[in-house]
Amino acid sequence: MNKITTTLCFLLISFLGLAQVQSRTCSSMDHLHSLELSHPEIIAKRNLIESQTQSYINNPIKPKQRAVITIPVVVHVVYNTASQNISDAQIQSQINVLNADFRKLNADIINAPAAFQAVAADCEIQFVLAKRNPMGDSSNGITRTQTIVTSFSYNDNVKHAATGGKDAWPSTDYLNIWVTKLSSGLLGYAQFPGGPTATDGVVISFRAFGTMGSVLAPFNKGRTTTHEVGHWMNLYHIWGDDGGSCNGSDLVNDTPNQGAENYGVPVFPKISCANTPNGDMFMNYMDYTDDIGMNMFTAGQKVRMEPLFLSGGARFSILSSLGGTYPTPTISCGTPSNINSNGITSTSATVNWDAVATGSSYTVQIRPSGSNTWTTYTSSLTYYTISGLSSNTAYEYQIQATCTSGTGQFSPLSSFTTAVAAPQTCGNPTSLLISGISHTNVSLDWQAVQDATTYTIQIRELGIPTWTTLTSSTNNIAIQNLIPITAYEYQVSATCPYGTSEFSASKYFNTLSAPPPSCSNNYEPNNSLATAVAIEKNTLVASILDSETDNDYFAFTTTAAQPKFKVSLTNMPADYDMKIFNSNGVQVFSSQNGRLQGEVVVSNNSSIPATYTIRVLGYNGKFDPINCYRLFLETSNSDFKVETSSSIDDASKPQIVYYPNPAYSQLTTEIYSQGNKDVQCTIYNSMGRPVFSKLITTTNGLNTLNVNVDGYANGIYMMELIDSEERKVEKFTVQH
């Protein structure tokens, strides 16, 4: 039941969880007041319509003018994103729901309680998508408008092109339905009879229109549109919008008085307002239950709709609309006859027809049975072979002739069904070719496989168990970022619409050695363990120490398949040293060779993957800002040949490095030791007098001694280190 104070009604939805709609709400009075302020004449029009309605209800013997009323519908899709541009099929699903609901042909009418079955009504109103537009041209009853507006509210902006929407077709001839994204959870709203003609119609969220595509539960059965079209036909909410006071009325005699709106799917009977024994008619389309809980209009609601379509009624003019019929073409060319098909396979068929006098060409249009989308072909003969069809599929087709005098009508629909396709297999790629090999790149080609849509390439280093998988849409691929001087194995398989082939037999290639790198200091900043630059195996690294304080740090990681490694430092332009640290920052190697002799580090004891860092530094601050040194990393699963004593697996005497030299504030001494040793450290000035002395006990690995030389006079000093095995003396300079 509903008071006669509602002109426009909109539905709001709440989003909980993953934005799922939970229940309907209505705020029709706010919208009504806004409409009355802008169009005061509506009040008088609505009073007149209600007077006509009550007069008709009070004279039931007055005959109806038509048994079934057909209403042409135009659906205006106003979208901002592609997902809002709903399909023709989704639109047709809503038209189907309207026809079922208003004709009492909905399958779920059986769910109406027996107590209400007697008043459930066939409203004898049906709907059809418009077949011609206001200019008289053929139409499918759908317009599509892309807008920059991200969402609309109930202010009718969607109904005007000037505000980002779409102008209405004449409401005297069409039911206008706008489908768009609505803000604030709005499901939809309708304009009651008597409102402005330019905005007459219904607005529905694209999330609640139809039964497929973009719709969301629980409003995915098309009943939002049924509800709003009920308003468009002068029906009010069944509870009377009285806030549950039991004083409201929807002006329909056979709908029980009820307290407030119902949500979800109540259990019958739902008692309110002392309406025992049957309670609320919550399954009525004009309540607020979920779509799945709605299933009926009543005979009384049908009687409220009928006066609209009588002479003088608010919607009488729509009965004479031509919008629901196709325009009649001027026939000046015959229609093909004797339509038949033959030569039917799983993917093709030949259609034939008799020639039309003066026919110069023919149009063949075909579609899968039940589809709304035609595929069109043209033939200058009286037959056409259609290919690319789907197997075991029913098709319908028709033929149209084109003559010098014009175009004729399409023939009646004919049909055929394609044969069942024999099982197909996807062929294996063959003739694998390799080209464009460099130290990091390669191009792979193979013979194209019939019907293949994509190819899968799996590649790995020879001897490594794990494959790397790549995909190509063509019968070739360029692969980058390979490892220089490395043997690779690869295979190719094809994917077709009907399956995937086996992988081809393996093919092999070797990458080339990397070209000598240019001597540029392009690894900076890498002056600490934290800023170490990652390098790859079998790749020559060239860099520069461009100042006495410059250090270069490089990181690498071994794998379980190749845990052993070898690092070579060569082409040194000055006396450079190399140190290697483990993942904990502990030094596990220090230079063994002096002057310009190269350094080679071999680790054959490693059996598990690990991360290491290489440090390259100048001995006593040596550097060369022009010429580069070279660093080369190799990994393996077998032992490297140990050609020098520079193996991190060999015990060695303490290695000592001093820096900076000259020292200006602090002198750092790095001592690498295999095990624990007592080392006496003494500094002498140029007169041979000791100025610093300290006994330290080394630990295995790197040991650091920092000496503050702020108070030392400028000049040359001697650092003496004595342990149980040897004495070592080095000069350094203090320069403030």
pLDDT tens track for 527-560 = 888 999 998 888 888 899 888 888 899 999 999 8
Instruction: Tell me: pLDDT of 597 over 60.
Output: yes
Q: Which of 1-15, 56-70, 358-372 is modeled with the greatest confidence?
A: 358-372
460-479 average pLDDT score: 93
Instruction: Tell me: pLDDT of 648 over 50.
Output: no
For 26, the 3-state DSSP assignment is: strand
Instruction: Tell me: pLDDT of 264 over 70.
Output: yes
Of 504 and 28, more confident: 504
Instruction: Tell me: pLDDT of 574 over 50.
Output: yes
We find that the CATH architecture of domain 340-417 is Sandwich (2.60)
pLDDT at 278: 96
Of 11 and 369, more confident: 369
Specify burial of residue 27 (Cβ count, 10 A radius: 0-12, 13-18, 19+). Answer: middle
Please give the structure tokens belonging to residue 692: 């610093």
340-417 shares its CATH topology with 430-510:
yes
Single-letter code of the amino acid located at 631 = L
Of 652 and 519, more confident: 519
Task: Pick the closest to residue 302 from 120, 171, 107, 175 (CA basis).
Answer: 120
- Among candidate residues 228, 261, 306, 461, the one labeled active-site is 228
Instruction: Tell me: pLDDT of 652 over 50.
Output: no
Q: Cα separation of 289 and 286, whole Å? A: 9
Instruction: Tell me: pLDDT of 188 over 50.
Output: yes
* Cβ-based neighbours of 685, under 8 Å, separated by 6 or more: 691, 712, 713, 715, 717
For 540, the 3-state DSSP assignment is: coil
* Cβ-based neighbours of 495, under 8 Å, separated by 6 or more: 426, 452, 453, 454, 455, 456, 501
Output the DSSP codes for 566-578.
EEEEE--SS-EEE
Domain 529-650 belongs in CATH node 2.60.120.380: yes
Residue 279's DSSP bridge partners are 270
Q: Cα separation of 28 and 190, whole Å? A: 10
352-359 average pLDDT score: 92
DSSP 189: E
Sheet bearing 678-684, strands edge to edge: 690-697, 678-684, 715-722, 727-734
DSSP 141: S
Instruction: Tell me: pLDDT of 68 over 60.
Output: yes
Check if 228 is active-site. yes
Strand bridging mode 507-510 / 487-496: antiparallel
CA 186 to chain centre: 25
CA 126 to chain centre: 39
Q: Cα separation of 291 and 698, whole Å? A: 82
Q: What is the CATH number of domain 666-734?
A: 2.60.40.2550
337-341 average pLDDT score: 95
Residue 538's DSSP bridge partners are none
pLDDT at 599: 81
Instruction: Tell me: pLDDT of 641 over 60.
Output: yes
292-309 average pLDDT score: 96
Specify burial of residue 313 (Cβ count, 10 A radius: 0-12, 13-18, 19+). Answer: buried
Q: Cα separation of 24 and 185, whole Å? A: 9
pLDDT at 541: 87
Instruction: Tell me: pLDDT of 27 over 70.
Output: no
pLDDT at 406: 86
pLDDT at 38: 83
Q: Cα separation of 88 and 6, whole Å? A: 32
Give me the percent of the chain exceeding a pLDDT of 90: 57
Q: Cα separation of 567 and 357, whole Å? A: 89
Q: Quick: pLDDT tens for 304-319.
A: 999 999 999 999 999 9
Domain 8-320 belongs in CATH node 3.40.390.10: yes
Is residue 197 within 8 A of residue 171, CB to CB? The reply is: yes
pLDDT at 8: 38
Q: Which of 23-37, 249-263, 626-640 is modeled with the greatest confidence?
A: 249-263
Domain residue ranges of the chain, discontinuous segments joined by +: 8-320, 340-417, 430-510, 529-650, 666-734
- Please provide the average confidence, as pLDDT, over all residues in the chain: 87
Is residue 473 within 8 A of residue 506, CB to CB? The reply is: no
pLDDT at 595: 64
Q: Quick: pLDDT tens for 138-187.
A: 999 999 999 999 999 989 999 999 999 999 999 999 999 999 999 988 89
pLDDT at 695: 87
351-377 average pLDDT score: 94
Longest dimension (CA), the chain: 136
- Give the fold, CATH level 3, of 430-510: Immunoglobulin-like (2.60.40)
In the numeric block, the tokens 């426009």 are attached to 8
Give the pTM. Answer: 0.48
Give me the percent of the chain exceeding a pLDDT of 70: 90
Q: Cα separation of 446 and 493, whole Å? A: 10
